[in-house]
Amino acid sequence: MKINKSAIVMIFYILFLMLPIYWLINMSLKTNQEILSTFSLWPNDLTFDNYMVIFTDPSWYGGYLNSITYVVMNTVISVSVALPAAYAFSRYNFMGDKHLFFWLLTNRMAPPAVFALPFFQLYSSVGLFDTHIAVALAHTLFNVPLAVWILEGFMRGVPKEIDETAYIDGYSFFGFFRKIFMPLIASGIGVAAFFCFMFSWVELLLSRTLTSVDAKSIAATMTRTVSASGLDWGVLAAAGVLTIIPGALVIYFVRNHIAKGFALGRV
């Protein structure tokens, strides 16, 4: 039975993926005392105290708000500047286009570790240190090239005749772009936004380097808590679980586009 064999492979793989996550959830529902004293596969003494700590302490829930703020800013900025550029790359030849495209891609290859210190100095000198926009702009370094690349792939799939017909029908460039072209590549925009969201949401190094108090991200909050209090495993686990939720929601909404989306419009 072939179907069964596939199902077994999938079940094992998903089990492998889910076990560590389950363990995190398990720990987030235990008291610290239970975590350290007894080893149990599920919480014996179910508690939501760890979550309450996070929801009542502004330095915790503030971290979430800060992260979401700069992630959304980054996604909006990245996609909106990438759209016209991707259109230009997909439709026109112009001086240096291929070099420019490759140069853009090289920025996706830049290790954040290389840029951490210069970014710190740059944003400090222009007075943007510890602001949301600083992190959002820093993340455009790798998100803009990716967005351009993804969108270019989707736009290439739209026949040029559609543009020409629209111009003949008397649309202005902006009218055409907004009313005709954008709906056609809606799924591409969705995929690009998804990836921007993803890479900005999961990044730690730059967001930690560029913030200290006011715009401190949840990721940074978590690493600092570890070093400060060291042993508050329950709260740490709860904070971790809460960071998984936005990602899970985003995936759930795009689940039907995942297969095509992950091919970046290139299948």
Partner 1 sequence: MKKTTNQKAWFMVLPVLLLVAFSAIIPLMTVVNYSVQDTFGNNEFFWVGLEWFEEILGSERMHDALGRQAIFTTIILLIEVPLGIFVALHMPKKSGVWSSLCLVLCALPLLIPWNVVGTIWQIFGRIDIGLLGYALDQIGIDYNYTQDSFAAWITIIVMDVWHWTSLVVLLSYAGLKSIPDAFYQAAKIDQASRWSIFRHIELPKMKGVLLIAILLRFMDSFMIYTEPFVVTGGGPGNATTFLSIDLVKMAIGQFDLGPAAAFSLIYFLVILLVSWVFYTVMVHSDKESGS
Closest CA to 54 of 242, 202, 215: 242
Give least dist CB 57 to partner 1, A: 18
3-state SS class at 130: coil
Long-range contacts of 28-37 (CB under 8 A, 24+ apart): 28/234, 28/237, 28/238, 28/240, 28/241, 30/234, 31/234, 32/231, 32/232, 32/233, 32/234, 35/233, 35/234, 36/231, 36/233
In the complex with partner 1, the residue whose CB is nearer, 65 or 248, is 248
Give least dist CB 113 to partner 1, A: 4
In the complex with partner 1, the residue whose CB is nearer, 182 or 263, is 263
In the complex with partner 1, the residue whose CB is nearer, 189 or 218, is 218
In the complex with partner 1, the residue whose CB is nearer, 65 or 258, is 258
Closest CA to 76 of 194, 193, 206: 193
**Largest alpha-carbon pair distance within the chain?**
75
In the complex with partner 1, the residue whose CB is nearer, 96 or 183, is 96
Give least dist CB 81 to partner 1, A: 4
Give least dist CB 46 to partner 1, A: 17
Whole-angstrom Cα distance, residue 255 to residue 203? 22
Give least dist CB 74 to partner 1, A: 11
Give least dist CB 205 to partner 1, A: 5
In the complex with partner 1, the residue whose CB is nearer, 18 or 46, is 18
Place of tokens 């005392």: 33
Contact 49, 65 (CB under 8 A): no
Amino acid, res. 106: T
